[in-house]
Structure 1
Amino acid sequence: MAMRLLFVDDQEENLKSLALGFRRSDYEILTALGGSAAIEILKENNVDVVVTDLKMPEVDGMQVLSHCASLTPPVAVIMITAFGTIESAVEALKAGAFDYITKPVNLTELRVQVEKACEHRRLQKENIYLHSEINKRYGFEGMIGQTGDMQQIFEKARLIAKSKATVLIEGESGTGKDLLARAIHYNSPRSRHPFMPIHCAALPETLLESELFGHEKGAFTGAIARKEGFFELAHNGTIFLDEVGEIPASMQVKLLRVLETKEFMRVGGVKPIQVDIRVICATNKNLAEEVEEGRFREDLFYRLNVITFHIPPLRNRRADIPLLVKTFVDEFARENGKTITSITKRAMAQLTSYHWPGNIRELRNCIESMVVFAQGEELDADALPEHLHPGAGREMGDFFSAPIGQTLDVVEKKYIQETLIGAEGNRTKAAETLGISRRTLQRKIKELGIESG
């Protein structure tokens, strides 16, 4: 689409000359005889660049500039001024004009200025588009939930997004804790600065300190150059510590110090580094219980537990499943170039009755599989994964029961054993189903004496 220019002058001959000078360009040209006419045109048309005379009766160029600046996004303005009014042109620049040019107008110079203004406008539009795409994906609008609990979470998140307070998000694996963290960041004053996600359980204890705080050259074997850590890279933005409950005790002390002082030292460093960051943490554990069991520092827990969210598992918000299904069907149909117009009542009934141990992540993967293998425009229950079918063998979706009177350790041991069987011995899958990390599962297997199998 051609960029649209608006020439503004109170002299008709000047307007004709300007329009004539751009007749062979690729721009769409509009003209306005005076400032009042220009403002009316701007109200009715999307204009990219305005070229206006500064001195005009009644409504002058500064008033046109003021109107352009009030638009969203602001329209680029090039001011034409006589040599004797340079000071006014400088004032126009301070008020937001893109540039100015003096009379008599040099058309070659003006064309260069217009092209620069158009490029500025293109970048401006691209930036707006990218931010809208980010908001679609990571804004609150991109989060799905019509149940009362989810609506309360969204409303609370909107209220605290603009604050600097530390946030703790609790919930089972796959419930969307990372999406909520991103939504809070992208709706905060820090949205134009980095969002740094760190999966604490995925980093070995030996590397965790170096990854979080960085290291100096020669700090340890293999440190051949200085490296900035995640906290340093997140300066002015947000750091997201996923599975914060997996951080070992030695690192919990250092994390507490960063939260209290907003400064740290690289591994091997001697100079404190100050950072301005917001910390958002997530966990699939009950940190209060972890404190009671002595596995998590009480002082760190209270430092993290400033604003808390608990995202309910999908089985507790079944009313959201049809909306989630439709969203995922549309997404994967678009990605795979397919036309899916509907899903049968039988398929939807089975989707809503299943208890989804892997929560939204598992549902999303299920729908992707159904869409990829779809032969027609309707998804039927036959396309569901085998373990979602009624009467299927012992799978991840079956119920678990234990007689009253057994100790908690015995029940927990049996439940983990059954989950491992359902996961065909896959510990990563079993840990995801149980809502714990693979490291925690391995510890429980050892503590409870569960056969490796």
Structure 2
Amino acid sequence: MSGYKANILVVDDEPDIRQLVQEILQDEGYIVYMAGNAEEARRLKLRHQPDLILLDIWMPDTDGITLLKEWGEDELFVSPVIMMSGHGTIETAVEATKLGAYEFLEKPLSLARLLLVVERAVDAHMLQRENAGLKQQLSVVNEPVGRSAFAERIKEQLKRLAQHDTKVMFVGESGVGKELYARFLHEHSGRKNGPFIDVAVGSIAPENAAVEFFGKEIEGAVFPGLLERAHGGVLFLAEIAGMDAQTQLKLLSALESRSFLRVGGTEQVHVDVRVMVSTRVILENEVKEGRFRQDLYYLLNEVTMEVLPLRKHSEDIPALLQFYVDYFVQHEKLAFRKFTMSAQNFLRNYIWPGNVRELKNLVQRLMILGAGDDIELAEVKTALGTVLDSVAVEQQDSVPIFFKLSLKEAREQFEKAYLEYHFEKNQGNVAKLATAVGVERTHLYRKLHALNIKE
């Protein structure tokens, strides 16, 4: 994977073997750590979370089979293990395979076979990570829609940027799709098989930020943080202006050194992460007002990408309407409906204060709450009245769909709409939001996180 070097831990009590394997693997571009016994192997595994482990069977303190069994009982351990032995037997190989070993290599090592097996094991591990990431993103639409000059220009720029590991800052109003463009960039980059970890910065309470970003260690167990989970891929920080001062300082240090200490840990963890951020506020003003660190701003703002509000590329609106109709038919099994020409023309001239997010939500409401094949102009105008009025649009049976929800679902819909409105009104500032809605800040952080309110 371009831009990413896999970490390999070599565990063998013979110094000559360790050095030979290290030199060969380093020549192939891998990062190699070496351990001469089981105790050192445990420590280095905990510290570096390797992508692959080469493990000798015969060692002076604890044999490799016992160590493999020990690691196999750790639910968080996912690295493939290749066993090595100069005294290998069929029974030993079978036992290692049953315990989860990826492959068994006999000594003296065939260097050609070693490289082949290592490459396959690393590729399998990366594919496993990619599939895990895809499962979390099944509902995410990653191709920006539209053929306006803006849409074509930004997609072309992002494809060029994808060839480099530059940090990118996406700037634009709420709801314009900044995360979507970040994902588009990621999918055209050499890191596309790595994870894309998106973080709603405003939903992380300051007192929890260290554990969230850097993870923790408790009695030998490792709980990876956001930076570690993004290793080999992208960490996307949505609405970076909402980060508290202490977390800004710690993040700056981690990004500059590409390393950090887990909470409760004693050894540095090294990561390879591309960082992208988004902001709806003018971050230079936040720097001038002393609310955002100037050094972190310059570190993150290597390239700025401005994402225009929908009203400034309104020629894309018909295509977006059609796209989201098809999307909800496919993903939510809603009945197909189409916008009449008069409805489309009206929406092309609408100001869209909530941008593409508002358009998506409008299409969803009209498809859920409306009836008939056509979406007429009058129905669109009614739906654009207010959020609360829109949920009372009646279907043919004259019973509002809102009343058919459970009390919990109805409450969640109201809370999400209510908090999104006030979150936007207060420019994404959680402290101001807490004052405006009369909710204690710690509880509010949890609520924003639970309702997935970000950007």
Compared CA separation, residues 375 and 430, structure 1 to 2 (3 A): closer
1:348 maps to 2:349: no
Show the counterpart of 1:430. 421
**Paired letter, 2:263:** V
Bigger mean CA offset, 341-350 vs 208-217: 341-350
Partner-residue secondary structure (3-state), 2:169: strand
Q: What is the CA deviation profile of residues 185-240 of structure 1, one whole-angstrom value per residue up to 9, with x for unaligned ones?
A: 1111111111111111011111111110011217xxxxx95311111111111111
Instruction: Check whether the contact 1:210–1:229 (CA below 8 A) recurs between aligned residues.
Output: yes
1:370 maps to 2:374: no
| 2-structure distance, mates of 1:297, 1:273 | 24
Compared CA separation, residues 154 and 432, structure 1 to 2 (3 A): farther
Show the counterpart of 1:65. none
**Paired letter, 1:431:** H
Partner-residue secondary structure (3-state), 2:329: helix
Instruction: Check whether the contact 2:335–2:367 (CA below 8 A) recurs between aligned residues.
Output: no
Compared CA separation, residues 425 and 238, structure 1 to 2 (3 A): closer
RMSD: 3.7
TM-score (norm 1): 0.56
1:381: how far off? 2.0
Instruction: Check whether the contact 1:249–1:297 (CA below 8 A) recurs between aligned residues.
Output: yes
1:201 maps to 2:202: yes
Compared CA separation, residues 270 and 372, structure 1 to 2 (3 A): same
Show the counterpart of 1:210. 211
Instruction: Check whether the contact 1:171–1:284 (CA below 8 A) recurs between aligned residues.
Output: yes
Instruction: Check whether the contact 2:175–2:357 (CA below 8 A) recurs between aligned residues.
Output: yes
How is 1:410-429 mapped onto 2 (pairs within 5 angstroms)?
Answer: 428-429=419-420
1:431: how far off? 3.4
Structure with higher Rg: it is 1
Compared CA separation, residues 374 and 240, structure 1 to 2 (3 A): same
1:439: how far off? 0.9
Partner-residue secondary structure (3-state), 2:217: coil
| 1-structure distance, mates of 2:416, 2:271 | 44
Show the counterpart of 2:192. 191
1:249 maps to 2:242: no
1:258: how far off? 1.7
TM-score (norm 2): 0.56
Bigger mean CA offset, 193-202 vs 326-335: 326-335
Q: What is the CA deviation profile of residues 281-339 of structure 1, one whole-angstrom value per residue up to 9, with x for unaligned ones?
A: 11111111111111111111111110111111112221111110111112223345456
Instruction: Check whether the contact 2:422–2:436 (CA below 8 A) recurs between aligned residues.
Output: no
| 2-structure distance, mates of 1:349, 1:432 | 30
Compared CA separation, residues 425 and 259, structure 1 to 2 (3 A): closer
| 1-structure distance, mates of 2:163, 2:415 | 46
Show the counterpart of 2:171. 170
Partner-residue secondary structure (3-state), 1:384: helix
Count residues with an aligned counterpart. 287
**Paired letter, 2:421:** A
| 2-structure distance, mates of 1:136, 1:199 | 18
Show the counterpart of 1:303. 299
1:365: how far off? 0.8
* Structure 2 unmatched ranges of 5 or more: 1-112, 117-126, 391-413, 438-455
1:183: how far off? 1.2
1:266: how far off? 0.8
Instruction: Check whether the contact 1:171–1:312 (CA below 8 A) recurs between aligned residues.
Output: yes
Compared CA separation, residues 431 and 193, structure 1 to 2 (3 A): same
Q: What is the CA deviation profile of residues 2-58 of structure 1, one whole-angstrom value per residue up to 9, with x for unaligned ones?
A: xxxxxxxxxxxxxxxxxxxxxxxxxxxxxxxxxxxxxxxxxxxxxxxxxxxxxxxxx
Show the counterpart of 1:266. 262
1:135: how far off? 11
| 2-structure distance, mates of 1:305, 1:183 | 19
| 2-structure distance, mates of 1:152, 1:136 | 26
Compared CA separation, residues 374 and 231, structure 1 to 2 (3 A): same
Instruction: Check whether the contact 2:144–2:151 (CA below 8 A) recurs between aligned residues.
Output: no
**Paired letter, 2:343:** A
Show the counterpart of 1:291. 287
Compared CA separation, residues 445 and 371, structure 1 to 2 (3 A): closer
| 2-structure distance, mates of 1:311, 1:289 | 19
1:388: how far off? 2.7
**Paired letter, 1:365:** N
1:263: how far off? 0.7
**Paired letter, 1:242:** A
Compared CA separation, residues 387 and 331, structure 1 to 2 (3 A): closer
Instruction: Among all aligned residue pairs of Structure 1 and Structure 2, give the percentage whose two residues are the same amino acid.
Output: 31
Instruction: Check whether the contact 2:242–2:429 (CA below 8 A) recurs between aligned residues.
Output: no
1:318 maps to 2:319: no
1:442 maps to 2:438: no
Partner-residue secondary structure (3-state), 1:267: coil
| 1-structure distance, mates of 2:334, 2:223 | 45
Higher relative CO (Cα under 8 Å, sequence separation at least 6) belongs to: 2
* Structure 1 unmatched ranges of 5 or more: 1-92, 97-123, 219-223, 397-422, 447-453
| 2-structure distance, mates of 1:211, 1:425 | 23
1:149: how far off? 2.2
| 1-structure distance, mates of 2:309, 2:158 | 18
